[in-house]
């Protein structure tokens, strides 16, 4: 073994391999991206575990690891397995939400039914959806200051019925055909 002085005056010992000894095989895992100090802080497995525990939420995974979401973005760019895990967790969460939505629809939840019919591509292709056209007098445009937006998913059934009643009352009676 040979001793070499290291910066700061301390010696570092390095073992020389013997002629009949092979060097250890290289690790099949790619190195982790360096942090600001140049050191590797997390393994890909740690990132994957954190993303799974956080159900695909990068901010929650970053908090658990004690890093920034940007650090997770760096790992995502470098390791396909981490990116695949994130995508799989997001898909699983979306599946869970769709299952809950289907359960609410089956239970007769009007909000869930409205949401599905207004957002589903299949339902929109069948003519369902949320579209409200508002015009001024004689079909002219309204001034920008008088336009209001209503988010349909925030309305209860009674509110929908009240709005429908108001719309019926506000609509002029059709003139008799001559």
Least confident of 4-8, 98-102, 133-137, 142-146: 4-8
Same structural domain for residues 127 and 87?
no
- Please check the confidence at residue 85 and state whether its pLDDT lies above 70: yes
CB of 75 closer than 8 Å to CB of 32 = yes
For residue range 14-38, list pLDDT tens digits in order.
455 555 556 555 544 544 455 566 6
DSSP state of 36: T
Domain that holds residue 154: 108-131+150-168
- pLDDT of 1 reads 47
Is 16 a member of any domain?
Answer: no
Length, in residues, of the chain? 178
pTM confidence score: 0.50
Alpha-carbon distance of 158 to 146, in angstroms, equals: 25
Same structural domain for residues 92 and 112?
no
Is 162 a member of any domain?
Answer: yes
For residue range 130-152, list pLDDT tens digits in order.
666 677 778 777 665 554 555 55
Is 88 a member of any domain?
Answer: yes
Same structural domain for residues 49 and 67?
yes
CB of 65 closer than 8 Å to CB of 52 = no
When divided into structural domains, the chain yields a total of 2
């Amino acid at each position: 073994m040979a001793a070499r002085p290291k910066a700061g005056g301390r010696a570092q010992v390095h073992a020389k391999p013997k002629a009949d000894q092979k060097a250890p095989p290289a690790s099949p895992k790619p190195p982790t991206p360096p942090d600001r100090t140049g050191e590797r802080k997390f393994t890909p497995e740690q990132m994957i575990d954190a993303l799974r525990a956080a159900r695909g939420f990068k901010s929650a995974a970053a908090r658990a690891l004690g890093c920034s979401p940007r650090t997770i973005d760096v790992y995502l760019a470098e390791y396909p397995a981490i990116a695949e895990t994130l995508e799989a967790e997001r898909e699983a969460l979306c599946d869970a939400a769709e299952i809950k939505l289907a359960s609410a629809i089956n239970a007769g939840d009007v909000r869930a039914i409205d949401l599905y019919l207004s957002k589903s591509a299949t339902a929109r292709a069948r003519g369902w959806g949320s579209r409200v056209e508002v015009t001024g007098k004689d079909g002219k445009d309204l001034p920008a200051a008088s336009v209001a937006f209503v988010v349909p998913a925030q309305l209860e059934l009674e509110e929908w019925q009240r709005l429908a009643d108001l719309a019926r009352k506000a609509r002029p009676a059709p003139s008799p055909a001559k």
